[in-house]
Structure 1
Amino acid sequence: MTYTLGVDIGTFESKGVLVDGAGAIVAQATAPHEMIVPRPGWAEHRADEDWWGDFVSITRELLAGSGIDPSDIACVATSAIGPCMLPVDEEGRPLMNGVLYGVDTRASAEIEDLTDSIGARVILDRCGNALTSQSVGPKILWLARNRPEIFAKTAKVLNSTSYLNFRLTGDYTIDHYTAANFSPLYDVTRCDWTDALADFLPLDRLPRLLWSTEIAGHVTEAAAAETGLAPGTPVTAGTIDAAAEAVSVGVRAPGDMMMMYGSTVFIIEVTADRVTDPRLWYAPWLYPGSHASMAGLATSGTLTHWFRDRFARELPRSEAFPALAAEAAESPPGANGLLMLPYFSGERTPIHDPQAKGAFFGLNLTHSRGDMYRALIEGIAHGTAHVFDTYREAGAAPSRVLAVGGGVKNATWLQATSDIGGVPQVVCDKTVGASYGDAFLAACAVGRAEPDDIDRWNPVARDIAPETHDIYARHHPLFLRLYEQTKDIASELGE
């Protein structure tokens, strides 16, 4: 029997699994870490401690707990939060904390400047995406402008997964799906880096491009000594965590959509053709000739953590979320007349507004903590429904929505998403997440599985049908109006 190892680095927690050839999980491990917020609008991780440190501790725990001989691991695959920006020196040493994905909005001025200088239409046509806080290119320009001493020492600009693979193999690689988020430095028409649109970074400072199931390299002696893995073990190119999570529940055919309930809501739909809409993101999917259309909220599960830490301090952490969920379930749909805008870190799709602000609207002296928590959950669901509306308008309505992530344990959140968005969802048997998708991609990379085998590895377990509530039909347009009618105030507050 041989095994594959998958490790995923998330926003607040990393997870790893060892999986056998039939898809059974033989060992799991987790490691928590924090998201660093040095100032409003910034979000960071420490590359060595949070990314590589978690990988090492998880891998050692999996090997020790399972008793599996490291030489029986056929392949390793990693995923991590992304797209991120990490400058490293000639030796591959991080020069600063990793700047995180779209929740980090520090490069707003650079987004505007690049869009003005290159042209919004040119960027959309060549890169498949409008420049937003999700784009790595503007963050690299921010680095050049604001930290010139670091930029001068930068030999490579990596993503989180790229850094893990460098530590494992000694090679600088990145998968195409992740690279597409480096706009305007990646040309989706050629699936290659480009300096035709911007000249602020020499292309030799970017990693080598691969598809996700290509082998990026092999575990070095130094990495083996740290992790306990066998030297020479193949390592795939990997991908962003959301893509691996989509793989884990069977997203592979056009019309399949993943709804990831995590620290952010992230959505991936595989499409037959390229979807070009400035409100959504585009990337080549994990295999040559395939396409993906993406969307994501800026704060989702992060908001539940925020609410717990501020309004449920009297409860033990292990009991807080179940207690809050029970209180929210006691509040009726519509949260007794409360609306909540979930824009606590600005917003990504579809409004792409880094100045958007969070708000509870409609509060009165009768409202309870349960009402507020339900309004928070429904606010995230309204934001998600806004994304579903956008897919429909772009001609890419999904044919199947597969739910995954820690939030699927929250029945109120799951049901509200179906009810407000008007979409049925399915939940698969295993909701382990991206690390399970990594293990499956590793098996595919070495010929021990085919893409269609995921249905056997992780079959559908249950369905969530949308229920009709008149209050949601009335509240959703009000949610959209509340943002439109307050965005000028929010922008001025941010000045």
Structure 2
Amino acid sequence: MTHTLGIDIGTFETKGVLVAHDGTITATASRPHRMLVPRPGWAEHRAEEDWWGDFVQVTRTLLGQSGLDPREITAVAASAIGPCMLPVDAVGTPLMNGVLYGVDTRATAQIAALNAAIGEDVILSTCGNALTSQSVGPKILWLKETQPDLFARTAKVLTSTSYLTWKLTGEYVIDHYTAANFSPLYDVNRQDWTDALADILPLDRLPRLMWSTGIAGRVTAAAARETGLAEGTPVTCGTIDAAAEAVSVGVAAPGDMMLMYGSTIFIIQVTAAPVRDPRLWYAPWLFEGQHASMAGLATSGTLTHWFRDQLARDADFAGLAAEAEASPKGAKGLLCLPYFSGERTPIHDPLAKGAFFGLDLTHTRGDLYRAVLEGIAMGTAHVLETYAVLGASPARIRAVGGGTKNAVWLQATSDLGHAAQEVCDKTIGASYGDAFLAALAIGAVPGDAIHRWNPVVHNVAPEQVAAYDRQYPLWKALYAQTRDIAHTLGVA
């Protein structure tokens, strides 16, 4: 039976899957890696070790586990965290660590300078997005201004998926969905690179634009030797991990929304027309003629990891979830601002700070952990509230990611967001979506086959919770009333 290979590089882990053309999973593998935080507000990966090294090792593990002849793999698709900023030299060698997506806030000064020089309204109308920590353009400008020697040696600026595709095929490509995050260097109206707004980088130093299911190239002899794949295997352009994850749970029609519980909360809704608002992000969807509206929190799964590592080293996540479940909804009046890495949507505040508020001597570790989960859920509710204000509430929400195994987190999100959620049979995530996109790219499956690959098996209904009705407005007020203090702390 023929298969496709999907590999996804996440913030803390790489996952891979071999999937038969009927959706059956033949083998899965994973490999952990670290997110480097060399300075507050910075977040990095090592491109060669964490991105390509993981791709190679996970692929070899999958081939070994499955016993498949590599020639039985009909196509390969990769996704990765993004949007990232990775400068490479003339032979494709990384010149520094990859600068990660919106959790990296190093380019705050460049965002302010570009807004002042170009105008926020012009940026929004041309790029479909306000400049935020998610934008790659300001990070390229940061490189140009603070690392001029490296910038002078930069032949291409890639993102994580672009780097993987180049290693596999020798081609420098990027999908439109990812490219839309390179503001102010991408014009969403023309769906092409632009230097009309700012002289940041010669456009020939950016990858060639493609749609996500386009075939970027074929596995080279060198890549075949490293990975064990067959030389000549088709490789798709690829995309950002969150988009592949949305595909994995059948997000396809206007009104469909993915709510991804991962290292960060990430939300994608397919829309009939562009939704352009500075509180959210816009991009062309993976397929020509479609649109997507996105949102994301800065710290979600990363915050639960921080809590376990710093305050609960004797416990695992299942034990912590049980402690949180024993705490009443509302965590006995405890509020948590989850802004431990600033915040992305809808407030776009890189200087926002995390906080626990309302502590007294009766609170337990379980109360604190429930407050963390509810704080993240309140951040998600704030995003859903923003969609509603814009008249773009979702018709259907599909939940996916490791956090869906946490019943407290899942239910709190439905309760606070006043929204039902559907959970599909397979929550393996982006790598499964990659495998489907690879099969779609070569015509092995029709577009609606994902609903057979991954049907809905569980529904989460919202409940009315008096404690949440009282505490959610206070949670929003807590940020507003402490913002100036947080900003002053950020400058000190």
Q: How would you bin the TM-score normalised by the shorter chain?
A: over 0.9
Q: Deviations over 1:174-222 (max 9, x none)?
A: 0000000000000000110001111110000000000000000000000
Matched, 1:96 2:96: yes
Describe how 1:185-334 pairs up with structure 2 within 5 A. 185-315=185-315, 320-334=316-330
2:445 pairs, out of 444, 449, 466, with: 449
Match of 1:349 in 2: 345
Query: What is the deviation of 1:294?
Result: 0.1
Matched residue type, 1:339:
L
- Give ranges in structure 2 of 5+ residues lacking alignment: none
Q: CA RMSD in A?
A: 0.4
Matching residue of 1:360: 356
CA contact (8 A) 2:259 2:267 kept: yes
Mapped to 2, the partners of 1:478 and 1:97 lie a distance apart of 40
Tell me the amino acid that sits aligned with residue 287 of structure 1. F
Distance of 1:67 and 1:234 partners within structure 2: 20
Aligned to 1:439: 435
Quick one: which amino acid aligns to residue 324 of structure 2? Answer: A
Q: CA deviation at 1:313?
A: 1.5
- Separation (CA, whole Å) in 2 of partners of 1:197 and 1:231: 42
Q: Deviations over 1:250-281 (max 9, x none)?
A: 00000000000000000000000000110000
Structure 1 residue 398 and structure 2 residue 383: aligned?
no
Q: How does 1:468-483 map to 2 (within 5 A)?
A: 468-483=464-479
Q: Distance in 2 between matches of 1:314 and 1:209?
A: 48
CA distance in 1, matches of 2:112, 2:391: 28
Write the letter of the residue equivalent to 2:253. Answer: A
In structure 1, what is the Cα distance between the partners aligned to 2:346 and 2:276? 13
Offset, 1:314: 2.5
Distance 1:367 1:42 in 2: 33
**CA offset at residue 450 of structure 1?**
1.7
Gaps of 5+ in 1: none
Does the residue aligned with 1:377 lie in a helix, a strand or coil? helix
For structure 1, which segment, 447-456 or 250-259, has the greater mean C-alpha deviation from structure 2 after superposition?
447-456
Distance across 2 between alignment mates of 1:412 and 1:226: 43
Q: Does 1:336 align with 2:332?
A: yes
User: Is 1:465 paired with 2:461?
Assistant: yes
2:171–2:217 Cα contact (<8 Å) kept: yes
Moved over 6 A (4+): none
Question: 2:152 — aligned with what?
Answer: 152
Letter paired with 1:396: A
When normalised by structure 1's length, the TM-score is 0.99
- Give the paired residue count: 491
- CA distance in 2: counterparts of 1:409 and 1:297, whole angstroms: 19
The answer to whether the Cα contact below 8 Å between 2:336 and 2:375 also exists between their aligned partners in 1 is: yes
| Identity between Structure 1 and Structure 2 (%) | 73
Distance 1:355 1:200 in 2: 25
Alignment check: 8 A CA contact 2:6 2:438 kept: yes
Structure 1: how far apart are the matches of 2:78 and 2:464?
Answer: 41
SS in 1 for 2:331: coil
Match runs of 1:381-392 below 5 Å: 381-392=377-388
Q: TM-score, normalised by structure 2?
A: 1.00
CA distance in 1, matches of 2:405, 2:322: 12
What is the SS of the residue equivalent to 1:181? coil
